[in-house]
Each structure stands twice: as C-alpha cells, then as structure tokens.
Structure 1
Amino acid sequence: MDETDFIIVGAGSAGCVLADRLSASGRYKVLLIEAGGTDRRFFVHMPLGYGKLYFDPSVNWLYKAEPDPGLAGQRDHWPRGKVLGGSSSINAMVYIRGNRKDYEDWAAAGNSGWGWDEVLAAYRAMEDNEAGADAWRGAGGPLFISANRRGLHPLVGDYIAACQATGLPYNADFNGENQEGVGGYQMTIRSARRNSAARAFLRPAMRRGNLKVVTGAQVTRVLIEGGRAVGVEYRRGNAVLQARARGEVILSGGAINSPQLLQLSGIGPGDLLQSLGLPVVVENDQVGANLTDHQGINYTYRMKVPTYNQELRPWWGKVLAGLKYFAGGHGPLAKSINHGGGFFRTSPELDRPNMQLYFQAFSTLLPRDGERPILNPDPFPGMSLGLSNCRPTSRGEIRIASPDPLQHPKITANAFSTEHDIEEMLLAVKYLRHIARQAPLAGLIAEELRPGPAVVADEDLVADIRARSGTVFHPSCTCRMGAVVDARLKVRGVEGLRVCDASVFPSIIAGNTNAPSMMVGWKGAELILSDAP
C-alpha cells in the first residue's frame, strides 16, 4: 500500500498537467496511476503515425458506442488513449481553445472562475506558441505549439482562396481575437514529433523524486471512508493493490472513464447502481449524463492535380516520405493530415460560428472498420473537405454495464437526436459544396465521389449525413460543473475527491478538445494547491 498526498487517476491530457503542477514545488508527494503503458513508441511520436494507432489495442481503449438511430443504426468506433498522454498521444494534434463566448457561457451558468479572462490567463501561462506572444497567445510556457506555416500542401492555398470566395475571411489565428474564418491549424508538434501532454508536461516532471508514475494499472474504485475519499484500489497484473491519499484523489480519466469510475465507486444514478448490486454512496443521476460530442462528415473529391495520395500510397512513395522525415523532419509524415480548416456560421443570425472545417489533401474511400488508412490512401489523387458541428444539442450518456470494473461501459451517443442538429448539418454540407464550386478549387476537381452528384434532395442529404457521419472524438460534459462537481471541481457529496478533465466541461466548446482539457488540468492544479495545507 502506497501513501501519498495526491493521487491522480489517468495520465491523459489533464492528468499529465496535474502531475507536473502538483509536483513542481516539491512539497507534495504525487502518485499518477495510468491503465496504459509507455508512450515511447515510434507511431506515437511520428505525427502522421496516428493512423496506425486508430485500432491499436496497445495504446487505445477501442470503445464502441451503442447502435445509434441517429447514425442509421451503426455502432460508432470511439478510440481513446490508453497510454501516457492519453488521447493527446493518439489524436490529430490540432490545437484549438474554443470560442471566447463558450467560456462566457460557462461563467454565466454559475461557474465562477471559468470565464474567458480567467481561462485566457491559464492558456497564456501554459503555452509556448511558435508565432510568439501577444494579447492572446502565450510564450515561454511548457507547451510548445507549432504555428504550422511551413511545408503545407499546395492545395491549402487553393482551399483558402475558395473559402474566401464564399465570403469567409482569412484568419491567421483561430486562437486569437476572432475564431471565425479560414486558415491553417496550429499543432501540438515540436521538432517533427508529437508534442503530447506526456512529452510537454509529464516527462519533465518525472525527473522529480516526489512524483511516482505507475503504468499498466487500472483503478477499479475510489476508497471512501466516512464520506471522504481516502485512496483508490487498482489492478496491476494479477495483483489487487491500494493507494491512500493524505490529501485528495483526482479523477482524470476523461469523459468515459471518470463517470465510469464514479459509478463503480457508488456515486451515480441510484437505480443503476442498485440494479448491479453496488452500494449507493452518493445518489446523483447526473453522473454520466449530458454526454456531448461533435459529429463530423467528409465530402470526397477526385482531383486533377496530385495530392498526398500519390506520395503515401505506392511503396516507393512511402520510402521517399520516410527519407524526408528521417533526414530533416520534413514531408507529410511530419504533420497531421489536417493542414487547414476554419469556422463558419450556417446562419448570419448566430452570434458565433457553429461549424468547424477541415481540409485534407488526401482521401480514402475504404470502409470505416479496419485500419484507418491514412498511410494507405486511395490509388488516385483525392481531396476531402470535412466539417463537424460545434455546439450540438443532442445528449447521450455513459453508464456502467456491469459491476466488473474491467468491462467497458455502455456508451449511448444519441447522435443527431434533435432536429436542430440535423437542420444545421444539412445547411453545413450544402456550404461544403458551395466552397467546392469556387475558383480556384473548382477547376482542380475532377468529380465529387462522396456523397456524389446524384445526392441532391434534402432527404437524400440527410440520409447521407446519418449513414456517413461519426464522432470526431471530442466526448465531454459527463461530470459537468454545476451537476456532478462544483466550480472548484469537487465531487458533490464526497470530501477529498475531484474530477479534472473534459468531463467537467459545463458545455462543449467550439473546436478540438485537447487544448481545453490541458487548460482544465492547469486551472485544476491551481485550485487544488490553493486548498492544500
């Protein structure tokens, strides 16, 4: 049995930041417990290698959602990181903070300390942006962020010009004063290697003697005595072990694992816990509820000009790409496939963008199940224009299916379960086609392959949305502030227990969720330290 000051469950985006910040002063002993293993893997560190990790059980939980009527009855694949760095070690590395009004909504909902000014200060403190510091960006912090302005595919310029032809402004920084517009994405990439939360925060912290990291250890329940969390039980190999905390237990398992662990520990919907024979320590129907996620779809085109398909499909192209990468950190392997993107509104009446764009000079029409074929694209020049909704109104839930802590929880996404979400997606895909019809992009397109020119009627477009959409891997809000935790991230009804990850978002932000998850870890550490003796 270990005894320490703080126990952190989960070495993901938030957990790595917590481990760094809580151990920095040297005053406290910190134990970080991670179910996965080391991040020292080639395809973790090579930026485009994330395609190899999409179905890799050695680094991925490989969750499956329940059959979803909103997705034409399909079971969507939900990859989540099971490795040091969590999902920041297997994601597409796009760095987006979200819209400032998202955080103003957080504060307006009664979550003091989480308004735009407060989170901006946290972002600027933790960032080291390659583009330099200004009123919005940070410099000198532990997290290097690539400005991603060099080595872009030539089609990125044509994509930006086509978007501008529709009226979208050029935006050099989606994390700056305004989010709306089109441009290149900032990336968590440093020196041609993935800059995960593990690399940026945890690895430096692991040199400290007061931080202990245990891998290959799955926490099965929080130990609660007299209404206070005093430690955790975990399995490592065939052993069942315990660790006890003099201070606090902090759950950082993410939007799936944190509510799962609370429920396994007797904190959650009373009827569910009783039906599974688990004791009800704190009854709270909101644990695992309010699951919110962005849903995305790609429109795919055959091109008249070369794309990354020609570089990455043939064996000699793979060899050349490898030589470029190993010789100087250049070429397609050194970047995410999402070189460009943007944010737009489906109606001018909206006060902020409600759709996110993705541009890929690459295509694949292979089935969704099986290896994600980023490194084995179509045998012809192809391009993808993608989008995802920023502020969906559909809500799902996470509920344990068994008292067995090693069994995956039941994920009910309820994608596109509201008319609002379908109506705005319909407007959005029409806008994708509007972009594709603009010069200079239009002159470079040979034909639309998916959904194809025959799909024109609204009902057919909606059917296509349901058949081909899926998660863009941003689950959140399942332990949200104001319902499961308070604004200081303390679990209601239990002393000494907090949740600190994307599950505490009061509402989902507009954009990729890795940056906000790290910010929650940064601010969470401040709250914990301010309460510590």
Structure 2
Amino acid sequence: MTTFDYIIVGAGSAGCVVANRLSANPNISVCLVEAGGNGKSPWVSIPAGIFGLYGNKKYDYSFVTVPQKNLCNRVMDVNRGKALGGSSAINSMVYIRGNRNDYDGWSALGCDGWCYDDVLPVFKKMEANQIGQSAEYHGFDGELQVSKQQDANKVGKVFVAAGKAAGLPENTDFNGVSQLGLGIYNVKQDRGQRVSSYTAFVKPIENRTNLTIMTHTQALDLIISGNKTEGLMVERAGVQQQLSCNKEVILCGGTILSPRILLASGIGNKEELRQLGIDCHHHVPGVGENLQDHIDSMVTVRSSKADSMGVSFKTLLPHVLPAPFKYFLGRKGWWTTNYVEAGGFAKTTLAIDADTDPDIQFHFAPLYRSHRGKKFEWGHGYSVFTCVLRPISRGSVKLANDGSKRNVLIDYNFFAHEQDQQTLVEGVKKAREILASPEFDHLRGEEMAPGEEVQTDAQILDYLRHTATTVYHPVGTCKMGTDSMSVVDPATLKVIGMDNLRVMDASIMPCLTSGNTSAPTMMIAERGAAMVLAEHHR
C-alpha cells in the first residue's frame, strides 16, 4: 500500500502522538515514516543507557554545526534521536513543561489559542502522573507516565539542600505554581524504564490495521501541485518510492529536518532556493530561520569521597558490578539514573533587576564530568550544568549547497547577543555559589572546570567561548505566527500558502520554553492532531 489518508513524517516526540490520535478512527489510514529503526534496544529502555546513545549513529543523527563564530569557531554536536520515539528515545527523560509566561508570550506574539490557559488542559490530558501531585496542574489518566526517580543518588539531595544558601528553596513540582528553586527532577519513566513517545503513544496501538509504520525510511521531499501536497518521496534500502496522500502530509521531523524537507521541496526563501537550483513553489522566507537553543555551561568538581556515582575501587563491589542485578531484580541501583538527576531554576542578577521569571536552569549530575571532554573518567565528583533559558541570539538551518538536498548547515549563532553572554557568566557564578554552600563541605574537592584561576567575568566568558555547548533543545525553524517570517498558521499549523501541509513539532515554537522541550513538543502534537480531526472528521 502506498496511498494513505495521512502521511506523518518523523516518529519522534510529536509524530508518535499524531499517529496515535489520527489512527484512533479505524476509517482513517495513517502512515508513519521514520528514518531510524524500531529503537527496541535495552539501552534505550534502561535509563542509564543514554550514556551509549549520544553519538551512536544507529540512534542519533549526530548532526554538527557550522563553526560558531562567537565560540572560537568551534564545531558543535547536535544530537537528535533517530528511532521510533525520536529524541525522546535518547534524551534524559526530564519532565518539564515551561511556565505560564512562556505560553502567554506566544499568544502575545500573535499565536492566538496558545496561551497557558489553553495548553494546560492539553498537558493534563496527556499525563499519567504517578506522584500524586496537584490535580490543578497534573493529569492522571493519560498515556505519558511521569514518576519520581527510582533510586536517586544522595548527592543530588545535597545539591537541593545547598540551594537554600543561595536563596533557592526546594521545589517539588517545577510544573506547578512556580519554577523557582531546586529539586530532584521528575522523569518520563515507568517502573524504572524509559517512557518515550513511542512507548507511550504508539507501542500500545501499533497493531492497528489502519496504521502503517515504515522504519529505515528517509523522507526526501514533498510532491507538490499548486497549493496542494500530493505525497512524499522516500528512500528505503536505496530504493526511492512515492507515497501518496488523500488528505494531508504532516511534518514532525523536528527543528532540523522539518525545514530541510520544506526547503528541499521548494518551500522557503525564493532567492536562496534559486541559488541552490531548486524551483520555488512557495516563497516562505522564514523556513529555517529563528533557530534557538539553550546554550549550556559546566562546573565540574573532583571529590575523593565515593558518595557520587563513578568507577573506583570503592564502588566496584557495592555499586558497579551489582548494577545489572539491582536493576533487573528490583529496578534499583545505578542503571536507573538519567544522570541529570537534580536541577532547577534561578534568577541571575539580570533577571532579579528586571523582576522576571527565572532566566537560567541547572542540571545537576552526581558524577564527575570530564574537564577534558572524555566520555569516561576514573573517580568521583559532581557537576552542574547551567543554561540560558530565553536566549536572544537567533540562528538558522539551511540546505547545504552540495546538490544533494539532504545535508544541512546548522548555525546556532550562539552568543551573537551580548545579553546571552552576560546571563551565562552570571549563571556560572550562581552555580558556584550553590556549590560553595557548607552542605558540600564533606564532598569538597578541586574545581577542575572552569578552575579556581577563572574568576573575573572576562575570564569566565573566555572559558565559555571555549567550552559552552548546546543542551539539545533546538526549536523555532518553522515558527508559527502572523508576521512576515512565520511559517505556519497558529490556528491550523498549516504551512502558509499550502492547503494540506502542516508542521507539528518543536520547530513551530516562536520562542523557547523555559526548560526541557520534549513535553511541550508532545503538547503541540496533541493540539495539532485535534485540529486535523476537527477539520476533516467531525
């Protein structure tokens, strides 16, 4: 079968949700196209398995950026999931939605219907909260299971307690009244196993006869006639074929691949398409623009104490060797970790002066992260990662001018705006303030990065230029809105100028949310699927 009512491109955080909702009607035929495999490796389901997923080209696209001109011309990794579940199959599983002002900010930019009061019921509908948190903010009957961590390391609790010395209270619900404070993160897990968009939304219904799942299938470009999308060209095992749609094609390829497909199909800036030798079907200049991500820094400390996770003679017998048995017998031990077990949100001096929401987020890892960039270091320690929540710098995703129409040029343009630089410098200082708390005295060790010699703002900024990276939350390249650079209509998520082509993924966010982006992407898909059903299947 090569003709379907709906073709969904990408089986990630968004695509799996859309496939579930549309195929719930047995009279609708749905095809879900995924370039990766089924993602059923135990290293995907075991939380600690993420250590071996980043950079593994079986599960990770392993994109890289162009040299970042404000970061010493460094080329940076852009890890994105390639399997059923997409990036939700390789991420750290942290469940964060963002705050009220994020979504009210979208509405203020012309995205009517996307304010906080509009999206909160959608989050609640999808959630299966296992923690017993407030029903005002949480749902309990959805498919997406949210739980406490099975066996959080005690050093994470030290980090939370240390926040009080820096004016940061303990926060047990970052999706509730306020984001401010530190806490142990809630995660998308079920009894110690990863919950991805695939396991939550597709695995339980993948035997529906009206749902076709095509893995190891790369989407090439769209087949367009006038304002209509007639289908999709794909490649499978080196053979190209055409998939036809009766109703719509829905792009859920994410912030990197959704604009790539549009540009390859002749939807984008007509002058740039002309230079690439691509016929322009629709002049939509915003395609691939407005790229945003949370730029991230690291403070990492060595410790002689074996309280944290790490491989040493002190931990081989009690923790390292028994870890598989503890996991499979009781869902306990180090294999349950998502590595960034604790974290939270704070205001730098820049945000305090402006009386705004938190402007930085912490991810705390109860282990030593190599100051040399190695995947593994012998011994113990702890690390704080700090990111800029609402960056002002904007980048882009462009097609490479190599004739393939498959390769992309990713330019985050990090630190293009001075305020982003200042915010992250202040963020490093705030992280250090927390680690200076007496709560850490029994674990005190040498700060390996940035290092005790790095103290002034200029020195910290130089350290950041040489080391800062992405926290893997790219959004914005097919933004919704009403201005001249908008790509999709907020009311329908249809690509401007097209009758039956929609985008439903993180690329439509006009601005980054404050926190991890997997849950907001699923919310976008839930709303988008409802739009399709309301239009065609009342």
Q: Same fold judged by TM-score > 0.5?
A: yes
Question: How far apart, CA to CA, are the structure 2 residues paired with 1:485 and 1:523?
Answer: 14
Give the structure 2 partner of residue 140 of structure 1. 141
Instruction: For residue 322 of structure 1, report the CA deviation from its aligned partner.
Output: 1.6
Question: How far apart, CA to CA, are the structure 1 residues paired with 2:493 and 2:253?
Answer: 14
2:253 equivalent to 1:249: no
Would you say the 8 A contact 1:278–1:403 is kept in 2? no
Q: 1:406 to 1:329 in 2, by over 3 A?
A: farther
Would you say the 8 A contact 2:276–2:403 is kept in 1? no
Instruction: For residue 314 of structure 1, report the CA deviation from its aligned partner.
Output: 7.1
Instruction: For residue 70 of structure 1, report the CA deviation from its aligned partner.
Output: 2.1
Q: 1:82 to 1:112 in 2, by over 3 A?
A: same
Q: 1:330 to 1:286 in 2, by over 3 A?
A: same
Q: 1:96 to 1:405 in 2, by over 3 A?
A: farther
Aligned AA for 1:447? E
Question: How far apart, CA to CA, are the structure 1 residues paired with 2:198 and 2:325?
Answer: 27
Give the structure 1 partner of residue 489 of structure 2. 486
- 1:496 pairs with 461, 477, 500, which one? 500
- 2:358 pairs with 353, 369, 374, which one? 353
Give the structure 2 partner of residue 515 of structure 1. 519
Question: How far apart, CA to CA, are the structure 2 residues paired with 1:20 and 1:527?
Answer: 14
Question: How far apart, CA to CA, are the structure 1 residues paired with 2:337 and 2:379?
Answer: 21
- 1:335 pairs with 334, 337, 351, which one? 337
Aligned AA for 2:153? H
Aligned AA for 2:196? S
Aligned AA for 1:351? T
Would you say the 8 A contact 2:348–2:423 is kept in 1? yes
Question: How far apart, CA to CA, are the structure 1 residues paired with 2:404 and 2:315?
Answer: 44
Deviations 1:110-143 (A, max 9, x none): 1111110111000000000111351001101011
Question: How far apart, CA to CA, are the structure 2 residues paired with 1:63 and 1:406?
Answer: 15
Q: 1:472 to 1:204 in 2, by over 3 A?
A: same
Give the structure 1 partner of residue 51 of structure 2. 51
Would you say the 8 A contact 1:296–1:387 is kept in 2? yes
Deviations 1:322-349 (A, max 9, x none): 2211221111211201111000111323
Structure 2 counterparts to residues 335-414 of structure 1, below 5 A = 335-347=337-349, 348=352, 349-365=354-370, 367-368=372-373, 373=375, 376=376, 378-402=377-401, 404-405=403-404, 407-414=406-413
Deviations 1:190-211 (A, max 9, x none): 1221100000001112121111
Deviations 1:227-249 (A, max 9, x none): 20111111111211111111111
1:364 partner SS: coil
Aligned AA for 1:62? S
Structure 2 counterparts to residues 203-352 of structure 1, below 5 A = 203-306=203-306, 307-310=308-311, 317-347=319-349, 348=352, 349-352=354-357
Aligned AA for 2:92? A
Instruction: For residue 25 of structure 1, report the CA deviation from its aligned partner.
Output: 2.3
Would you say the 8 A contact 1:129–1:147 is kept in 2? no
Aligned AA for 1:309? G
Would you say the 8 A contact 2:264–2:405 is kept in 1? no
2:87 partner SS: helix
Q: 1:367 to 1:528 in 2, by over 3 A?
A: farther
Instruction: For residue 27 of structure 1, report the CA deviation from its aligned partner.
Output: 2.6
2:118 equivalent to 1:115: no
Deviations 1:47-78 (A, max 9, x none): 11111011111111110100112222110011
What percent identity do the matched residue pairs reach?
A: 37
Aligned AA for 2:517? T
RMSD: 1.6
Aligned AA for 2:370? L
Instruction: For residue 312 of structure 1, report the CA deviation from its aligned partner.
Output: 10
Would you say the 8 A contact 2:260–2:408 is kept in 1? yes
Q: 1:308 to 1:315 in 2, by over 3 A?
A: same
Question: How far apart, CA to CA, are the structure 2 residues paired with 1:484 and 1:312?
Answer: 56
Aligned AA for 2:369? T
- Where structure 1 has 5 or more consecutive residues not aligned to the other structure, the ranges are none
Question: How far apart, CA to CA, are the structure 2 residues paired with 1:404 and 1:40?
Answer: 34
Question: How far apart, CA to CA, are the structure 2 residues paired with 1:73 and 1:313?
Answer: 41
Aligned AA for 2:457? D
Aligned AA for 2:452? P
Would you say the 8 A contact 1:312–1:321 is kept in 2? no
Would you say the 8 A contact 1:65–1:412 is kept in 2? yes
2:179 partner SS: coil
Instruction: For residue 380 of structure 1, report the CA deviation from its aligned partner.
Output: 2.2
Instruction: For residue 263 of structure 1, report the CA deviation from its aligned partner.
Output: 0.1
Question: How far apart, CA to CA, are the structure 2 residues paired with 1:509 and 1:357?
Answer: 15
Deviations 1:359-406 (A, max 9, x none): 1110131644xxx73xx4x22221101111100001000000146556
Question: How far apart, CA to CA, are the structure 2 residues paired with 1:177 and 1:167?
Answer: 18
2:185 equivalent to 1:185: yes
Instruction: For residue 443 of structure 1, report the CA deviation from its aligned partner.
Output: 4.1
Aligned AA for 2:455? V
Would you say the 8 A contact 1:161–1:439 is kept in 2? no
Aligned AA for 1:529? L
Q: 1:313 to 1:389 in 2, by over 3 A?
A: farther
Higher mean C-alpha deviation, range 190-199 or range 495-504: 190-199
Question: How far apart, CA to CA, are the structure 1 residues paired with 2:98 and 2:279?
Answer: 39
Would you say the 8 A contact 2:260–2:406 is kept in 1? no
- Where structure 2 has 5 or more consecutive residues not aligned to the other structure, the ranges are none
Aligned AA for 1:393? I
1:102 partner SS: helix
Aligned AA for 1:200? A
Would you say the 8 A contact 1:63–1:408 is kept in 2? no
Would you say the 8 A contact 2:151–2:336 is kept in 1? no
Q: 1:75 to 1:403 in 2, by over 3 A?
A: closer
Question: How far apart, CA to CA, are the structure 2 residues paired with 1:383 and 1:97?
Answer: 26
Would you say the 8 A contact 2:301–2:383 is kept in 1? yes
Q: 1:107 to 1:272 in 2, by over 3 A?
A: same
Q: 1:313 to 1:31 in 2, by over 3 A?
A: farther
Would you say the 8 A contact 1:287–1:479 is kept in 2? yes
Give the structure 2 partner of residue 454 of structure 1. 453
Would you say the 8 A contact 1:5–1:246 is kept in 2? yes
Would you say the 8 A contact 1:221–1:232 is kept in 2? yes
2:13 equivalent to 1:9: no
Instruction: For residue 319 of structure 1, report the CA deviation from its aligned partner.
Output: 2.2
Question: How far apart, CA to CA, are the structure 1 residues paired with 2:116 and 2:106?
Answer: 9
Question: How far apart, CA to CA, are the structure 2 residues paired with 1:70 and 1:89?
Answer: 31
1:71 partner SS: coil
Instruction: For residue 444 of structure 1, report the CA deviation from its aligned partner.
Output: 2.1
Question: How far apart, CA to CA, are the structure 2 residues paired with 1:119 and 1:26?
Answer: 27
1:255 partner SS: helix
Would you say the 8 A contact 1:313–1:379 is kept in 2? no
Aligned AA for 2:339? I
Instruction: For residue 304 of structure 1, report the CA deviation from its aligned partner.
Output: 4.1
